Chain A
């Protein structure tokens, strides 16, 4: 059974840092890309960050709202994905989901989120 468990959330002051972890099991972590998606209280879903697996270069992508502040990484030996968040703002307050990313390939490619964790709440407030 595929499982993703987020941890590391909490209350933090604006301008400070926080690191989220996504511990996975039930699949070969190194075969998949991973991503973080967030949901502000009472709002919709917002994609945050993405990291390809090593076979596709391990490259990263970020939403404009977090680029240069957030860093996604992966440790294939531990099956963990991490989101380091710096210079946090009140608007970063959200439930942060970790998701496994699968890939549909034809003459193009489409990445989609096929398994999700239960989320880790990050509250940025003074």
Chain B
């Protein structure tokens, strides 16, 4: 069974800090098959990154995605107050979509 594992489960940081979120695939998935979403409490998810590293329309450049193979990273260069939320990675492959379990970025 293909699994995406996100770490850490919770990241406690302050505004202005750099956030590094990890997403590890249970097997190599090559390149361009990964996306990242942000979900704030009570809201629908919002697309941040697709194709591993392409920012979605309207997403600030403090958000960046990187990685290939089994290890992928979402980096938020300087946290703004509105960035505290849950983040999910998502893989597409074999006509299936798999989400990681999420990383919560909370205010320290």
Contact = CB atoms under 8 A, between A and B. Distances in A.
Interface of A: 35, 37, 44-47, 50, 61, 63, 97, 102, 104, 106, 108, 110-119
Contacts of A102: 50
Interface string B4-36: 000000000000000000000000001011010
Given A45-B37, A112-B50, 18 more contacts: A44-B99, A44-B101, A45-B90, A45-B99, A45-B102, A47-B97, A47-B98, A47-B99, A97-B45, A104-B54, A108-B32, A111-B92, A113-B35, A114-B50, A115-B47, A116-B45, A117-B44, A118-B44
Nearest to A117: B44
Interface residues of B, number: 26
A35 B96 CA distance: 11
A73 B47 CA distance: 24
Contacts of B33: 108, 110
A119 B56 CA distance: 21
A112 B96 contact: no
B50 A110 contact: yes
A120 B6 CA distance: 27
Contacts of A50: 95, 97
Interface string B82-108: 000000101010011111111000000
Nearest to A106: B32
A116 B46 contact: yes
B32 to A, nearest CB: 6
B103 to A, nearest CB: 11
B47 A45 contact: no
Given A45-B45, A118-B44, A119-B44, A112 B92 contact: yes
Contact of A113 (B43, B47, B51, B96): B47
26 contacts: A35-B97, A44-B100, A44-B101, A44-B102, A45-B90, A45-B99, A47-B96, A47-B98, A50-B97, A61-B96, A63-B96, A97-B44, A102-B50, A104-B51, A104-B54, A108-B30, A108-B32, A108-B33, A110-B33, A110-B51, A112-B35, A112-B92, A113-B47, A113-B90, A117-B44, A118-B44
